[in-house]
Amino acid sequence: MQDEWQPSCSIELLHLRAQVLAEIRAFFSARSVIEVETPLLSCSSGTDPQLDFFTSDYHSYPLHQTLYLQTSPEFAMKRLLAAGCGSIYQICKAFRNGESGRFHNPEFTILEWYRVDYNLTQLMDEVAELITLLFNGRIQLMSTQRISYQDLFDSYTGLDPLQFCYEDYCAYALKSQSPEAIELCKTDHNAWLDFIFSHHIQSFLGNNSLCMVYGYPACQSSLARINKDNSKVTDRVEIFINGIELGNGYYELADAQEQNQRFDEEILLRQQNNRPSITKNTQLIAALKSGLPECSGIAIGLDRLLMILTKNNSIDDVIAFSIMRS
């Protein structure tokens, strides 16, 4: 039995992690993308209804303030983009409360980057280049696949993800032996999409391949733009290998008014679902008002990437100290 003071992963894994980080930095340096650092502790956090966060009390007399550990560096990085820094990347820690398991640790390592004057297709090209580089000589990826969310959903379920029909979705739940979805999701289209995708589609994606799913339904737009040619679709991409979600990227929303409205809607949804309350990030709204350049960005979970590279089954096997040993 391993002593509790010892690291969760092997020493060889720590060396591999260092090599992967060096290769990532060389990749972006060759492309003149600069590395930045932003605060892990901030005066606000994201409003995503699915995420919970950590808080900390800051005392500096007479100031007493609640601060938040960041679930992502996205907001601060966009403020840098609006200030004119150009294309940037960051390797940092992110924190999400209540997340623990095979693919989750409440503290994890994230790679996030933004490319000025890139559309989503160009960003996907760069993602494929980076992943191919990191896997070269370690694990052979058979191919790179790109498929629209609508085609994927139709292929596996026969449902139209862009047009919600409650009766059709309920019929699918019964047919697929998932009757609990009817009570869990009710008439919430977004909840239905998340349930069906995670339970009946995701495990089949990227079998020894890099799979990029793009064109998500507009109700899952988050911080992405609505597609200019189809208002039912958002310019968002997620990447998968061996059924594991590795990253989430957007053609970034630059409209301050629309972003402010989305924040309000998410805050209301959090209240309705009895999730911890949060105030919206007014600094990001101000940055968008000043002018965010045309850009696309993506965040990739480096711990999950290392799991795949080393064929480990748990995130605990690829980080120095898991939450139980921290």
- CATH number for 213: 3.30.930.10
Identify the residue with better confidence: 60 or 243: 243
Over residues 161-213, the pLDDT tens digits come to 999 999 999 999 999 999 999 999 999 999 999 999 999 999 999 999 999 99
Q: Is the pLDDT of residue 141 over 90?
A: no
Residue 228 lies in a domain: yes
Rounded (5°) CA angle 198-72-115: 95
pLDDT at 2 > cutoff 70? no
Q: Measuring CA to CA, how many Å separate 96 from each of 46, 50, 71, 133, 199? A: 11, 10, 6, 29, 22
- Mean pLDDT for 74-91 is 98
Would you say residue 81 lies in a domain?
yes
Mean pLDDT, rounded, for 217-241: 94
Average pLDDT over residues 5-20: 91
Residue span of the structural domain in which 92 resides? 11-142+207-325
Q: Is residue 174 part of a domain?
A: no
Rounded mean pLDDT of 19-33?
A: 98
Whether residue 142 has pLDDT greater than 90 = no
pLDDT attached to residue 277: 83
Which 3-state string (H, E, C) describes the chain? CCCCCCCCCCHHHHHHHHHHHHHHHHHHHCCCCEECCCCCEECCCCCCCCCECEEEEEEECCEEEEEEECCCCHHHHHHHHHCCCCCEEEEEEEECECCCECCECCEEEEEEEEEECCCHHHHHHHHHHHHHHHHCCCCCCCCEEEEEHHHHHHHHHCCCCCCCCHHHHHHHHHHCCCCHHHHHHCCCHHHHHHHHHHHHCHHHCCCCCEEEEEEEEHHHCCCECECCCCCCEEEEEEEEECCEEEEEEEEECCCHHHHHHHHHHHHHHHHHCCCCCCCCCHHHHHHHHHHCCCEEEEEEEHHHHHHHHHCCCCHHHCCCCCHHHC
CB atoms within 10 A of CB 30: 8
- Does residue 76 fall inside a structural domain? yes
In a domain, 92, yes or no: yes
Mean pLDDT confidence for 38-49: 90
For residue range 254-303, list pLDDT tens digits in order: 999 999 999 999 999 888 888 888 888 999 999 999 999 999 999 999 99
Question: Is the preceding peptide bond at 62 cis, omega within 30 degrees of 0?
Answer: yes
Q: How many domains does the chain have?
A: 1
- Residue 102 has a pLDDT of 86
In the prediction, which pLDDT does 254 show? 96
State the average pLDDT over residues 112-125: 98
The model's pTM is 0.94
Flag whether 200 is in a domain: no
pLDDT of residue 28: 98
pLDDT score recorded for residue 211: 97
**Is residue 63's pLDDT more than 90?**
no
- Whole-number average pLDDT of the chain: 93
d(Cα 253, Cα 296) in Å, to the nearest integer? Answer: 9
The verdict on residue 153 lying in a domain is no
Residue 171 domain-assigned (yes or no): no
